[in-house]
Structure formats: structure tokens, C-alpha cells
Structure 1
Amino acid sequence: MDKTKLLSKLWEQYAEITPSAKKIHDLLEGKGEEIKNDHIAIRTFNDKRVNIDVLEKLFLEVGYEGKGEYIFESKKLFAKHYEHSTDKNAPRIFISELELEKCSPKLQATVKEILDSCDAEAFNNPELVLSGAIWKTKSLAVYNSLLEESEYAAWMYVYGFRANHFTINANALKGFNSLEELNAFLENSGWKLNSSGGKIKGTPAQLLEQSSTLADMHSVNFDEGSLQIPSCYYEFALRYPMADGELYQGFIASSADKIFESTDVKLQNR
């Protein structure tokens, strides 16, 4: 699979359960904007069968290179970001993993049971990153058990391997002079933004500002019945030049920590 097809498939999967992203995309295009993608984020567990080392393979094969590494102490996450070696317009890839050894024995056992229930061959699928939830059951009881400790783990159980969010490159927008202006336009158009840590995470001094919508609510068919669960969200990133004049390419862990909460069901009713 080439880069273009991989990125297209990731978008198709994402848009299917995040209809707001397509609507915002079309809304901005309707204002004459050309939408460019800053980065795509993917979640996983640090189990050796599905960890970052496994999921990165497909991206490395299509020309991406590992760049920054990030630690999120409170959420027990580790992440890496990747940039394409030759195509500077290609979106960055951001892959995070839940550090299971830092979680409770109960959560560790639950995740092991989930992964053990899969056909072992599924982990060898070169397109695992596009496979969604490959486990055999989808129990509301298991979801709620994971949710008590880690919203990230609960989200993974429901949605599996797919893009968690896409990100509009705000630098490429012509009709907005700041992220504040873009946020105001989105809110005036009816979209709810993630206000955890403020609607804008990061500062010009940190060389990166980010904001995001709250995740869409998506109907999930559990064994016990259907329930609306937060799916994915749309992010917006504005980058600032470094001392050499080049735009900053990395991420700010403290900002990303709050962006992760866009899928948190507790934010939906704020």
C-alpha cells in the first residue's frame, strides 16, 4: 500500500464515525479554504503484539521516519511522532500507547484477555492499523470496567486500530488570523470545543497552539445493547517559527494531554 492510499483509508474510517469532521471540512472549503492536514493520531496498548513498534511498520514502509518522543505521566501514555522523509506536505503521524505496567492488575488482566481472544494471525496483518476492534466480543461491562480507570483504554476497546483524530493545519487557512478566530467561527457554527485546560492549548512561546472539537457521539452495539459512546474529534493546530525561521514540527506533551480528553464522556455535558 502506498502513502496516499493509506492516508485515504485512515480518513474514510475516521469520517465514517466522525460525521462532524466532514461537515467542518466542507464548511471551511465553502469559505474558499484549502484544507491541509497537520497530523493524524492513533492509539494502542504497549503489549508487544500491538505496540508502537508494530503499528509504525506500515508508516515506515511508506516513507515516514521517527522523530519526537513524549511521556504523559498522568495518563500513563508514551507516544512518538513521525514525519515523511521526502514529502514535506504529508501529515505527521502521532502514535501513542497505554503503558499497561503502570496500570492496575485488573486493567492489565482485562487488556490481556481482550488481546488473547483475538486470532493470533490478526496481529501479523500488515494493515493492522486499519483493522478497528479485532477482538471477538464487545461487552458493556468490560467497557465500563476499563472506563473507571482509563478513558483511553475504554476507547481502544470500542474502536480499536484506526485514526483517533485528524488535524487541520491552521497555518494554511487564509481567512483566519488566529486560532481564536477559527474557534469563534466554529462555535458560532454550532460546534462544541474541548475546554479542558482552556479552549486553546499551548502558546506562541511554546511554538504550537492547538484546539479541538469534542468527539462525536456514535452508537455502539454492545452484547448488552446499544449505547452512544464518544468516537473521534477534529483538531486544529497553529505552528510558529523557530529561531531559524522554520515552523516547529513537534508536539507539546502538556497540550496533547488535554487534547486526549476530547473523547472523554465527562466533557460532553459541560
Structure 2
Amino acid sequence: MTPDVLFQSLWNDYIQRLCPSAEKVHHLLQEDETLINDHIALRTFNVEPLGIATLAQPFLDAGYKPCGDYEFESKKLVAKHFEHPDPKQPKVFISELKVNECSEALQAIVTKLVKQLDTHDLKGPEFLWGGRLWELSYADFQTLAKESEYASWLAAHGYGANHFTVSVNQLNAFDEVKEVNDHLRQSGFTINESGGEVKGSPDVLLEQSSTMADKVAVEFSEGTEMIPGGFYEFAKRYPMANGELYPGFVAASADKIFESTNG
């Protein structure tokens, strides 16, 4: 499957199920050229058969290569990012929760979810936008949320893009991430201000911001509840010494971006 087909499928799922407001943001920022998607992010558990390697495989099959490694100790997460030889293709940021470092209660719930998996569902790339592959009770969701917002989000939504990211470098109407934030605020969007509304700086060669996640309806075994879904991110990259734009991620900034899905 080509990168274009992969990302179109992920985008369709993202705007329909996880972040319907992204379509409005897209129109607000759209100029003459198609908006460049800087990267997407995916979440998973570090348990077989759901680790980073499983989610990465469809991208590797499409020509992507592993690049940076990241750790988020307080959230018990590790992550990798992947790049395509064609710099116009989006980067892919995949994180996983170190379930083995979490409480026994959390581990028991994740084990219960994973036992429901049909591994055949993971054979093709379609599972990346397939949503939830297990049944989940709202009571278990709440138990997970008390310990790890990341775990509760993943358990509730399953697989799909946690966010897409507009490349601010491409925009003509705005030079700065802060200007994008102000424009979106004027249109009624809430910006994630955890760690400051703009994460990063020119010194670390990357600035990022994001909307707070949409509230979306999710089916639990007890009924439907409104919970945080996906969000839209904005990134401005700065040139390295060789003149090329910095391609990686800054762990301290990504740590705060994760909090865009806090309820």
C-alpha cells in the first residue's frame, strides 16, 4: 500500500471518528497549495502482538525507515519516529505504554482487552484505522483513566491517528505557531496550554502547538459516553547547520502534546 493510500485512509477515519473538527481547521488554514501533513501519531500497548513493531510494519512496507527513539518516564511511554525517503511524505510517531511498569489493576484490564484480539485482524494495514478491536466497559475505562490517560484513550478508541499535524512552514498567512493559535482561538477552538501554548523553541529547532481534543461519542458495554478523541497539531521546523529542516521530535514538547487528550 502506498503512503498516499495509507494516510488518506487514516485521515478519513480521523475526521469521521476521532476529530471531526479537524476538517474545519483544515479549511481555516487551507491556502492555494494542499496542506502539508508534518506527521501523525499512533498509540499502542507494549504487549504482544501490539507493540510499536506491529504498528510500524505497514509503514516499513511502504518505504519508511526508523529514525529517532524517545522516552517519557513519568508517563511510562517509549516512542519511535519513522521517515520516508520522500521528504514530502508525513513522518510517523508511534508510542507505546510500558504496561509491565503499571499497576496490577491496569495490567489486568489490558490483558483482558488483548485476549479478545483476533491476530488475523493485524495482518494488513487496515487495522491502523480499524478502531477498537475489543469490548470495553466504562468502569474499566474510568479505572484506566485514574492511572494513565494514555491507557484509557487507547483502550476506548483502539487504533487510528491520535493527531495529524499542519506544517506551519508551508503557510503564507502565518509565520509563527502563535499566530496560528490566535487565528484558531478566534474561530472558537481551545488551544492546549500545558507547558505553554507553544511547546519548544527555535533553539531546539522545533515549535509545536495543538487544539484540545474533540469530545466524541464512544460505545461502552454500559452505553455511550462522550470522551476526548483526537486533536490537531501545528509544527514549525527550523533549519539545522546544513540548511535542512530539523526532522526529529523534542521529547519535552511531545510530553506536553500528549496532554491534548486530557479530559
TM-score, normalised to structure 2, is 0.96
Q: Give CA-to-partner distance per residue, 1:185-215, whole Å, 9 cap, x none.
A: 1111111000101100001101000000000
Work out the CA distance in 2 between the residues paired with 1:83 and 1:208.
16
Secondary structure in structure 1 of the residue aligned to 2:79: strand
- Corresponding residue of 1:22: 23
Q: Which residue type is aligned with residue 134 of structure 1?
A: L
CA root-mean-square deviation: 1.2
Are the counterparts in 1 of residues 132 and 158 from structure 2 also a CA contact under 8 Å?
yes
What are the residue-to-residue correspondences of 1:1-270 with 2, within 5 Å?
1-17=1-17, 18-29=19-30, 32=32, 34-85=34-85, 87-135=86-134, 137-265=135-263
Q: Aligned partner of 1:112: which letter?
A: T
Identity %, equivalent residues: 49
Q: What is the CA-CA distance between 1:105 and the residue it aligns to?
A: 1.5
Take 1:152 and 1:204, find their aligned partners in 2: how far apart are those partners?
28
Gap regions ≥5 residues in structure 2: none
Distance of 1:232 and 1:99 partners within structure 2: 22
Unaligned runs of 5+ in 1: 266-270
- Distance in 1 between residues matched to 2:153 and 2:163, nearest whole Å: 13
User: 1-side partners of 2:33 and 2:121: how far apart?
Assistant: 40
Aligned mates of 1:73, 1:35 — CA distance in 2? 34
Residues 4-53 of structure 1 deviation map (CA, whole Å, 9 limit, x = unaligned): 11110000000112111100101122x55641100010000000201001
**How far apart are the structure 2 equivalents of 1:122 and 1:12?**
19
Tell whether the 8 Å contact from 1:139 to 1:224 is kept in structure 2 after alignment.
Answer: yes
TM, length-normalised to structure 1: 0.94
Give per-residue Cα distances to partners, 1:106-134, cap 9 Å, x unaligned: 11111011100222322434433222101
Task: Specify the code of the residue in structure 1 equivalent to 2:80.
Answer: K
Paired letter, 1:26: H
Q: Which amino acid aligns with 2:195?
A: G
